Amino acid sequence: YEACEKLEKNGVKFQKKPDEGRMKGLAFALDPDGYWVEIVRREKLGWKEYYNLSQTMLRVKDGPASVEFYTKHLGMTLLRKMDFPQWKFSLYFLASLTPGELEECLPLDPENKHVDGLNPELPNTLTKIAWNQCLELTWNHGTEKDPDFKVHDGNAQPQGFGHIGFIVDNLQESCDKMEAEGVLFKKRPQDGNMRGIAFAYDPNGYWVELVDRKATFSGICSNY
């Protein structure tokens, strides 16, 4: 509703407003060519009247290198990049979106559409509405050049944060590909007695768990 009000304020004409007719919560806007654009409540995107877990924030040594890792090797989309040169830090918001989901989201931010997708340099509502969890990376400029700077990966003493995990379709294949591309592994699928999972290191040394989508817990751990 709020979105529709905003669109209307910005001059968008509606064939049907969300409260008109029998189908509440559903609207049809007219695009500049007169096509109807269906606007549904963002149930799919999770705009619920609820709390929802939405981000995990990790500090990183090298922002661009970390973004490259998560986009190139783990298929994440950079939703938003915010540079604060006056405070010498940058924030990156990344999410696991399929192309279809990204397409679904873009009409909500039509002005931020690049030829090749979302423009992470511009504000967008994706980070606010996306139900899919974001990975927020905080990079303090300059740490990448400091050979002594290391983040605490949470697994050294004292322990805390452990890892983030991704579900993958074909664990062995994904790991082989990542390894060929230079990613370091703490545990490859075939190492140890735990099948169906692997642990890679991200450029900061954070553990990244990879779990085969078909794995069951008893399939993972032979002694359980």
Round to whole Å and give the CA distance between 20 and 166: 42
Round to whole Å and give the CA distance between 80 and 168: 24
Told to judge if 20 belongs to the known catalytic residues of this protein, a careful annotator would answer no
Task: Assign 93 to helix, strand or coil.
Answer: strand
Q: How many CB atoms lie within 10 A of CB 196?
A: 19
Annotated catalytic residue within 104, 144, 179, 209 = 209
Q: How many CB atoms lie within 10 A of CB 125?
A: 18
* Strands of the sheet with 185-187, listed across from one edge: 185-187, 197-201, 207-212
Q: Is 216 a binder of a second copy (CB under 8 A)?
A: yes
User: Which residue in the set 14, 26, 37, 138 belongs to the binding site for a second copy (CB under 8 A)?
Assistant: 138
Q: Is 211 a binder of a second copy (CB under 8 A)?
A: yes
Minimum distance, C-beta of residue 159 to a second copy, in the bound complex (Å): 5
Considering only the stretches 12-20, 27-35, 163-171, 181-189, report the one whose residues sit in contact with a second copy under the rule CB under 8 A.
163-171
Q: Is 55 a binder of a second copy (CB under 8 A)?
A: yes
Integer CA distances (angstroms), 123 to 169, 188, 206, in order: 32, 39, 28
List residues near a second copy by CB under 8 A.
44, 46-59, 74-76, 82, 84, 95-96, 98, 123, 128, 131-133, 135-136, 138, 150-154, 158-169, 174, 204, 206, 209, 211, 213, 215-217, 224
Binding residues for Zn(2+): 55, 136, 163, 209
- Which residues have a catalytic role annotated? 209
